[in-house]
Structure 1
Amino acid sequence: MNKGGDIIIIEDDPDDQLLIEQAFQELGYANKRIYFPDGLEALAYLNSETPLPFIILSDINLPRLDGIQLRRRLRENASLNLKCIPYLFFTTALNQDVVIEAYSTSAQGFFVKPSDFNEIKQTLKSIVEYWKRCAAPNNFKS
């Protein structure tokens, strides 16, 4: 895990993108945020020669390739899977079946996107702080 890497955010709603970005700006994390409107664009980016991202925050309901399908594709890609990029769902889609399906993809978290800005900010802070403290297999040099 590259704790100084980019935070990949896959969100098709421009208003939600704006709120998420405002929250990150107020939190003051140095990690660059890169936004994608759908899973296909994010997949193309992640398959390119880019620096290892820190975490991926994905909505579930996305055009062209939804968050669940994207997660499955990333797990099937051996080289991306070995990079141990934390994949978390950050979505308004909430019911038991969706949560079960999300965790069946080996996602590392499922967070409900709050409607209140301060709660969005607090949720994002909790996510980032947790992963900044977490060790991953690729944190060790051979």
Structure 2
Amino acid sequence: MKTQSTLYLVDDDEDDRLFLSEAVRKTVKNVVIIECKDGVEFLEKLGSEPQIAAPVLVLMDMNMPFMNGLETIKKLKSVPALQSIPVIFISTSSSPDLQSQAFEAGATDFLIKPSTSVGLNQIALNIENQFAAFL
């Protein structure tokens, strides 16, 4: 049996976290989802975990208070031991400039935040398919 992997879901919108985590739990097996309301909380939790179930995947909102997604990924990628963690940005913005900034900062993927359950389920399927080796 495959061991559980850890997925961090970083988003300041509680409803978005709830709906996305439900979609992922229905689709992706053997995953533990750790929810964080912003980049600061994510980095604190990541640093306080004595052992992180490897590998880890991060789904991160781009626009958050205190520390936005770009600031958070730059801090994450500045730690050599954490540089290989895949980060998927989810955002309501489809700005090509924002997407370019995300990829330059080290993002693995950039997805537009869906407004329907069908869209959320599609993201969960994409996570399962793209990151089957990780999860």
Q: Does 1:38 align with 2:31?
A: no
Indicate the residue corresponding to 1:123 in structure 2. Answer: 123
Q: Aligned partners of 2:107, 2:90: CA distance in 1, in Å?
A: 11
Unaligned runs of 5+ in 2: none
Work out the CA distance in 1 between the residues paired with 2:123 and 2:101. 22
Q: Could you tell me which of 40, 57, 67 is aligned with 1:65? A: 67
Aligned residues: 130
Structure 1 unmatched ranges of 5 or more:
135-142
Question: For 1:29 and 1:90, how far apart are their aligned partners in 2?
Answer: 21
Deviation string, structure 1 residues 75-111 (Cα, Å, up to 9, x no partner): 1112222xx2111101212211111110110211101
**Of residues 76, 79, 82 in structure 2, which corresponds to 1:77?**
79
The percent of aligned pairs where both chains have the same amino acid is: 26
Deviation at 1:129, TM superposition (A): 1.9
What's the Cα RMSD here?
Answer: 1.7
Return closer, same or farther for 1:36/1:98 CA change in 2, 3 Å cut-off: same
Q: Residue 20 of structure 1: CA displacement?
A: 0.8
- Could you tell me which residue of structure 2 aligns to residue 55 of structure 1? 57
| Equivalent position of 1:139 in the other structure | none
Task: Normalising by structure 1, report the TM-score.
Answer: 0.83
Q: Which runs of 4+ in 1 moved over 4 A?
A: none
